[in-house]
Copies of this chain bind each other. A is one copy, B any other.
Amino acid sequence: MLISELSRRSGVPIATIKYYLREGLLPPGEATAATRAEYDDLHLGRLRLIRALVEVGNLPLAAIRRILGAVDNEDLDVHGLLGTAQYALGPKVDPPEDEEWQETSDQVDAFLADLGWRVTSFAPARKMLTQALVTLRRLGMPAGADQLRPYAGAAETLAREEIGRIDTSAPRSALVEGVVVGTVLYEPVLIALCRLAQEHQSALRFAPPRS
Q: Which residues of A line the B interface, CB within 8 A? A: 48-49, 52, 55-56, 77-79, 82-83, 86, 89, 93, 112, 117-120, 123-126, 128-129, 131-133, 135-136, 138-139, 141, 143, 148, 150-152, 154-163, 166, 177-178, 181-183, 185-207, 210
Residue among A166, A191, A205 with most chain B CB within 10 A: A191
The 7 A-B residue pairs whose C-beta atoms are closest, nearest first, are A159-B197, A129-B192, A125-B195, A154-B154, A155-B193, A155-B197, A117-B200
Task: For A131, list chain B residues within 8 Å (CB).
Answer: 55-56, 188
Given contacts A148-B189, A188-B132, contact A198 B139 (CB under 8 A): no
Closest B residue to A127 by CB, please name it: B192
Copies of this protein, total: 2
Contact B194 A190 (CB under 8 A): yes
Contact B202 A93 (CB under 8 A): no
Contact B163 A201 (CB under 8 A): yes
How many angstroms from the CA of A141 to the CA of B52 in the assembled complex? 12
> How many Å from the CB of A164 to the closest CB on chain B?
8
> How many Å from the CB of A68 to the closest CB on chain B?
14
Closest B residue to A51 by CB, please name it: B135
Contact A132 B199 (CB under 8 A): no
Contact A151 B199 (CB under 8 A): no
Contact B199 A125 (CB under 8 A): yes
How many angstroms from the CA of A97 to the CA of B119 in the assembled complex? 42
Task: For A196, list chain B residues within 8 Å (CB).
Answer: 112, 117, 119, 123, 125-126, 129, 155
